[in-house]
Chains A and B, each alone.
Chain A
Amino acid sequence: MNEHLSSERIFEAIAGRRNAEVEKHLHACAACNEEVGRLRRSIAGFSQAIHEEAERDRASAPRQIGWAEQRPQSRLRPFTWILAAAVIATAVALPVYDKSQPPPQEAIGEADAGLLEEVDAHLSREVPASLESLLELMQEDKE
C-alpha cells in the first residue's frame, strides 16, 4: 500500500458513513487501521461513558417525575427554611452571647478614642479621601 488515507478520508471514516473503498484500505493498511480503530474506540468509549452516566443519573433521580408541578415550590422552600433557621439561631444566640461576654470598659474606651481620631482626621481633610492622591500629585508638581 503506497499512500495512507488523507485527513479528509480519515474524517469520513470517523464521522461519516462507512465507505467501501476506505474500509478496503483499512483492511490492507495496518497504520491507517490502527489510527482509525483507536479513534473509533476512544470516541465510542467517550460516548458510552456519558450515556452510562446519564442512565445512572436517571436511576438515582426519581424527583424528576412530577417536576413541572413541583418546580415553583422546590425553588422557594429551601431558601425559606434556611432563612427561618438563621433568624431563630440569631434570636437564640444573641442574648446568650450578650450575657456571657460583657464588653470590658477599657476596650470600649479605646474604641471610642479611635473613632474620635478618625472623625478629627476626616474633618481636617482639605479634600475628600478619594481625591487625596490627586492632591499629593499636584503638590509634588508645585515643588
Chain B
Amino acid sequence: MEPSASVEPIGIPLEDVRTNIRDFDRIVHLYWPSLFRYLFASLRDRDAAENLTQECFLRAYQNRERFRGEAPVKTWLMKIAVNLIRDRARNRRIQFWNRTQVFSVDAYEAVDRLVHPERTPEAQALLNEQIKAVWGITDRLPDRQRAVFLLRFVEEMDLAEIAEVLGTTEGTVKKHLFRAVQAIRNGMRTK
C-alpha cells in the first residue's frame, strides 16, 4: 500500500495529516490527552506538562512533511515527547530545580483527588500513600526505565509499540520494564 493512501485507525488520511492544518487540529484534539498524560507523569508539574505538550505539537506540525506514515501518529508524537523530555532533562537549571523538589504539589493534588468509594477513609488514605510512593519511585528511575514504565502502565502500549517509540528492541524494552517493576517492588517493601 502506498504511504499516502494508508489510513490511520482514527480515520485521518496520512496525506491530510501532512498537508491540511485543519486535520492537524484534529490530531491535536485527539492526542492531546495522551501526550499530556505522559508529560505530566514524567514532570509532575501541570504547567510544565501543558507547555511541553504544546511544544510537542508545534514540533510535530513543523516537521509534518517528514512524517512518512510508517508508524501510527501516536507513536510519532510519543517519540517527539520522549525526545523533548530527554532534552529538558539535560538542562542544568531544570536539573537543579528537580533536585530541590521532593514531590510536586500538582502530583500530590492529582493523587489526593482520587476517590475510591468502595474503601474506608483509612484504606483510601493508605492506597493514596502507596500511589504517591509509586510516583516517587518512578521519578527516581533512570530515564529509559521511566519512559518504558509510563508508556506501558499509563498509556497501555504493548512492548512492540514502546520499542518503536524508543527506537530499540522489544527485548530491551522488556529488560527496562522488568527493572522498573523491581524498583517499584523494592521501594514499596520499605513503605
Contacts and interface: CB of A to CB of B under 8 A. Distances in A.
Judge: A and B partners, yes or no.
yes
Interface of A: 7-8, 10-11, 14-15, 35, 38-39, 41-43, 45-55, 57-58, 61, 64-69, 71
Contact of B21 (A14, A46, A68): A68
B130 A41 contact: yes
Contacts, number: 113
A18 B54 CA distance: 37
Contacts of B21: 68-69
Q: Which of A10, A53, A61 has the most CB of B within 10 A?
A: A53
Interface in B162-181: 177-178, 181
Contacts of A14: 181
A46 B54 CA distance: 24
B128 A45 contact: yes
A101 B51 CA distance: 44
Contacts of B177: 11, 15
Contacts of B114: 45, 48-49, 52
Interface in B47-78: 49-50, 54, 57-58, 61
A70 B160 CA distance: 36
Size band of the B side of the interface?
Answer: 35 or more
B182 A11 contact: yes
Interface in B83-139: 106, 110-111, 113-114, 116, 127-128, 130-131, 133-135, 138
B40 A45 contact: no
Nearest to A75: B58
A43 B41 CA distance: 12
B25 A51 contact: no
Interface of B: 21-22, 24-25, 28-29, 32-33, 36-37, 40-41, 46, 49-50, 54, 57-58, 61, 106, 110-111, 113-114, 116, 127-128, 130-131, 133-135, 138, 152-154, 177-178, 181-182, 184-185, 188
Contacts of B111: 45-46, 49
A53 B25 contact: no
Contacts of A66: 25
Contact of A50 (B32, B40, B128): B40
Contacts of A15: 152-153, 177-178, 181
Contacts of B133: 42
Contact of A54 (B22, B24, B37, B61): B37
Contacts of A53: 37, 40, 46, 106, 110, 113
Nearest to A67: B28
Contacts of A49: 110-111, 113-114, 131, 135
13 contacts: A7-B178, A15-B153, A38-B188, A41-B130, A45-B128, A45-B134, A49-B113, A49-B135, A51-B37, A57-B40, A64-B28, A64-B32, A67-B28
